[in-house]
Amino acid sequence: MAQVVNNNYHVDLSDLMRLYETNYAKLNALSPCRPSVGDVRCYQASGISYQLRVSEVTKYTTLIDICQSDDVPVFPLPRMSVRLYHDARVAEVCRCEHLTRIDARYSYPNKKMLQQDEKLQINRFLGDWLSFCLKQGISRAPLNI
């Protein structure tokens, strides 16, 4: 008789929180110091233009929309909204392109063919992109530090 192996995906909370913390630090380095709604910061990295726009500021959180601002992007960056939680010092992708809400875990297969660890992958992508901008990016405006 064949044995059934249960390969369910389980969220590694410590790994996810570590990722949120590093993304928070990276995003803070790229975003305005004292953000207010409507603030925009533009970067150019490897000939590609990116934009960070502050869309919401509350006492404990800031919501930043990230997009590629080239007219015809060669490798398009998905539009993302990232919430920074200042009290916990973490940043989390809360919207990405076609996903208005990102669950921690998805059953697989599903209608949208999302990976079981879609939330982790999207936040890792954000971390990689932020690292790229920090290493290769040039701000279009002087940074007020």
Q: Which domain holds residue 80?
A: 13-28+37-136
Examine residue 118 and state whether it is found in any structural domain, yes or no: yes
Examine residue 106 and state whether it is found in any structural domain, yes or no: yes
Phi, psi of 48 (to 5 degrees): -115, 135
Give the model's pLDDT for residue 39.
94
Examine residue 7 and state whether it is found in any structural domain, yes or no: no
Examine residue 6 and state whether it is found in any structural domain, yes or no: no
Q: Angle, to 10 degrees, between the axis of helix 13-30 and the axis of helix 118-136?
A: 30
User: Structure pTM?
Assistant: 0.81
Is the model's pLDDT at 109 over the cut of 50? yes
Examine residue 42 and state whether it is found in any structural domain, yes or no: yes
The number of distinct structural domains making up the chain is: 1
